[in-house]
Structure formats: structure tokens, C-alpha cells
Amino acid sequence: MRYYIKMNDDIIIWLERLSALHKSQIRKSAAIEGVQLVHLEILQYLSICNKYSNTAQGISEYLGQTKSSISQSLKFIEKVGHIKREPNSNDKRSYQIFLTKDGKECIKRMNESSTPDLSEVGDIVGNIKTILYKWQEQNDLKGFGQCKSCYFNKILEKGGFQCGLTQEPLSETDIQQICREYKFK
């Protein structure tokens, strides 16, 4: 007995292939860099997340792995020299994690070797975002997203932006990054 594949299922097939391919690519880069898959996934996350999201807990939520697992991975990539930690001034239990020069170079090599060149962009991004938000929403997951499309992000009259949650000012660069506290508007 075969499966009857519905229209909507087509999307899933391609999404799953996309994910498998992505994972496969990262794994390849990891082998070249002499680290494990998860280590590069962490570095990649750190390269795009904002200052409210670069914690062990944030990584755990993003990657869907337990804190304990992430904790061990962080220990390793810190020893190797890809990241450095700095105590969080607001919360003594917590610390922020940053990529070192070494870690940034590592991610740069990875991106160069595995990023598709998509010249004619069109509304691909919009479509992907649609999929993503629906998926996150329906599964009651932490909704990571870019500040620039976040409910809390305010555009200031005098120029620049402000986060409605923390009241902190945000730069043009800041709002490109993704945040743990993202809320769909």
C-alpha cells in the first residue's frame, strides 16, 4: 500500500529535505573545523542572535536541546577558543556568550562554503517567514525572530529604534538580529 500525497504535503517534503541538507552541510563543515555538528550550530546561533539571547538558556531553546547538553558543548568550544563568556550585570546567575575572533572566522568559513547564492530573491523570505511563524505558533514554541518585525520594536521619531520590553535603544544592526523574546505582530 502506497501513500496518497496531498498538496500540502509537498511543502513538507521540501522543507524536510532542506533541513536534512542543511544539517548535512553543517556536519561537513564541522568535520573540516575539527568540531562537532552541535558546536557549529551554537556558533551559528551566536552569530545572529542579539544581546538578550546569547545565553545558555537561549541556545537551549533555539536548538531544542537540554541545558545540560548545551552546557557541556559550551565548555568545549570555550576551551577551543571559539567563544568567551562575560558575566551579566543584571543577573549574577547568568552570563552572556560572545564569539571570539576565532569563532567568527570559523562561522565565516562555514557560511561561505554552504550558502546558496540566491540572486533573484523575490518574496522567498516572506514565504519562509510565513511557514516559520505558523509552525512555531502551532507548536507553542519560543518564537525566535528578528527585532525589526517584532511586536515590541518601536520606531523612534528622532531616528533609531527601541525595544518595548527592555526600553533600551536599538541600532540598525541590532534589529537585524534574532531574539528569544520575539513576538509576532
Partner DNA sequence: TTTATATAGTATCGCATCTAAACTAACTTG
Partner DNA sequence: CAAGTTAGTTTAGATGCGATACTATATAAA
115 binds, among DNA, its own copies, none (CB under 5 to 8 A by kind): its own copies
38 binds DNA (CB under 7 A): yes
Q: How far is it, in rounded angstroms, from Cα 177 to Cα 164?
A: 16
Residue 159 touches which member of its own copies, DNA, none, C-beta under 5-8 Å by kind:
none
Query: Taking CB within 5 to 8 Å according to partner kind, which of its own copies, DNA, none is near residue 98?
Result: none
Point out which residues bind its own copies (CB under 8 A): 2-5, 7-8, 10-25, 27-28, 41, 44-45, 47-48, 62-65, 111, 113-118, 121-125, 127-132, 134-136, 138-139, 141, 144, 146, 171, 173-174, 176-178
CB of 92 to its own copies, least distance (A): 26
Name every residue whose Cβ is closer than 8 Å to that of residue 175 and which is 6 or more positions away in sequence. Answer: 146, 147, 148, 153, 161
x/- site string to DNA, residues 59 to 98, per CB under 7 A? -----xxxxxx-xxxxxx-----------x--xxxxx---
Query: 69 or 113: whose CB is closer to DNA?
Result: 69
Q: Go through 118-150 and write b for each residue having 16 or more CB atoms within 10 A of its CB, e for each that does not.
A: eeeeeeeeeeeeeeeeeebeeeeebbbbbbeeb
Q: Does 22 bind DNA (CB under 7 A)?
A: no
